[in-house]
Structure formats: structure tokens, C-alpha cells
Amino acid sequence: MSIADRFALFSKLHVAGDPLRLVNVWDAGSARAVAEAGAPALATSSWAVAAAAGYPDGEALPFDALLATASAILRATDLPVSVDFEGGYADAPDEVQGHARTLLGLGLVGCNFEDRKVRGEGLHGVEDQAARLRAIVAAAAGLDRPIFINARTDLFLGTDPATHAGRVDEALVRAEAYAAAGAGSFFVPGLGDPALIARICGASPLPVNVMVLDPTADLAALARLGVARISFGPAPYVAAMQSLAALAGQLLGH
């Protein structure tokens, strides 16, 4: 498939009520395994990619190492691939654009892009983050190719669930701004309350992505809330490493 064909397929897979399930990968081997299981598309987890290379999450993984991992995954599959770009490895839009140009030049069709200040505290302001999103769109336009940006807000991740209801309005303001800037979907990791998920799904101008870390979670229930994309973050990597450790213990006689 051409990049345009893969982009079109990836976009069409985001359906509210019939969500795309993305079993997150971290290298070429995991990408092949998930593809062979029947996945229609692939997406990386920054946490898993970093952990597999011996780094913590949060752009500690060198950008060149991210590029090498993305290249290996793209060589391993013809499926649409989205890469977790974290915060773009920069704050300023022009620097984000330069990094995006390099990453998108590899042939991926999508990226995750978060509004958390990776090298600071809190979140980027709405307008600042919109400008950073526009920089990625401009990078894609400069390469004459589309890009599906999964615009992530960290309003809910790592925050007290008791405060989440009071954060929904700001989340929807961000969803509107990110949509206007060219994002393709809206990612709300850390949000688990069904009523709040349904509220965001009902009001967001973008298809909504939620993160599930429990493999026994009721995914059909999330679909009924209007979710269009479900990703699993570091959970597949953690499960794979636990399985390997168990096998190693068995083979070593422990």
C-alpha cells in the first residue's frame, strides 16, 4: 500500500462505537507478532519503546534511537503505523516541525502528540499546543503527505480521579482547538469514569481514544460509550516481559 492508502485505511478505522484496537508495539519483532495476530494497524508506546532500549519514558530515549526503532517497525510491516512522538522532543513549534519532518519522512501515517511539558511542569497552554500541532501538519504538508495526529491531553493522567469531572470542560476546549489545528483524534489517557468518557465522546469534534491497561477490561462497554480507538499503552510490553521472565525461570530451573 502507498502512504496515502495506509493513511486512508487508518483514518477509516476510527469509528465511534466500533473502536480500533491498537495493541501497542515496541520493536520490529513485536510489530510482526501483533500483525500476524490480525491487527489492521500498529502503534508504538513511548513507554515500551524506551523500556525496551533501557530508558525511562519521557523523551529520555534519544531521538535517533526513536527513528531507528520506527524504521525497523516500518520495514517489518506494510500495515499503517503510528509512532508515539511524545512532546515532539522540543517545546518550540519550529523545532517540533523539524523533528516531525524527519520522523514523518520514514513513512509512518500517524503519531501521538501530547500536551504535557515533557521537560517542565504542567501542560502547554491551549494556543501554544495548537501551534505545535500546526507545526506537525506543516511538516507533513512539506513532504506532500497526510498525517493522522492522535492529540493527547494529559489533563487526566496521574491526577486525582475525584477532580476529573471538573476537568472535562477544559478537555473539550482542548479537543476543539486541537481539531482546528489539524488533529485526527483526541486521546484522554487516565480517564476511566464511564460517564465522563461518554460525555467527552458525545461532545468531542474528534474521535476519542482511551487507554486500557487491564487486559480483562470490558472493551464492548467502552465501544457503547462512543469510544473510537482503544490503545493499551505499556501493558503488552509488561505482559511480554513477565512471560519471558517466567519462561526463563522455568528453563533455568528456578
Q: Is 80 exposed, middle or buried (0-12, 13-18, 19+ CB in 10 A)?
A: buried
d(CA 111, CA 113): 6
Q: Which of 199, 195, 174 is nearest to 187 (CA)?
A: 174
Class of domain 3-251: alpha beta
Confidence at residue 167, expressed as pLDDT on a 0 to 100 scale: 98
Confidence at residue 1, expressed as pLDDT on a 0 to 100 scale: 84
d(CA 192, CA 230): 12
Domain range summary for the chain, segments of one domain joined by +: 3-251
Residue by residue, pLDDT tens for the chain (254 residues) are 899 999 999 999 999 999 999 999 999 999 999 999 999 999 999 999 999 999 999 999 999 999 999 999 999 999 999 999 999 999 999 999 999 999 999 999 999 999 999 988 999 999 999 999 999 999 999 999 999 999 999 999 999 999 999 999 999 999 999 999 999 999 999 999 999 999 999 999 999 999 999 989 999 999 999 999 999 999 999 999 999 999 999 999 98
Please provide the distance, in angstroms rounded to a whole number, between the alpha carbons at the two ends of the chain.
Answer: 47
CA atoms within 13 A on the CB side of 25: 29
Confidence at residue 126, expressed as pLDDT on a 0 to 100 scale: 99
Confidence at residue 41, expressed as pLDDT on a 0 to 100 scale: 99
Confidence at residue 119, expressed as pLDDT on a 0 to 100 scale: 87
Confidence at residue 254, expressed as pLDDT on a 0 to 100 scale: 83
Say which residues have a Cβ less than 8 Å from residue 212's Cβ, sequence separation at least 6. 219, 222, 230, 231, 232, 233, 235
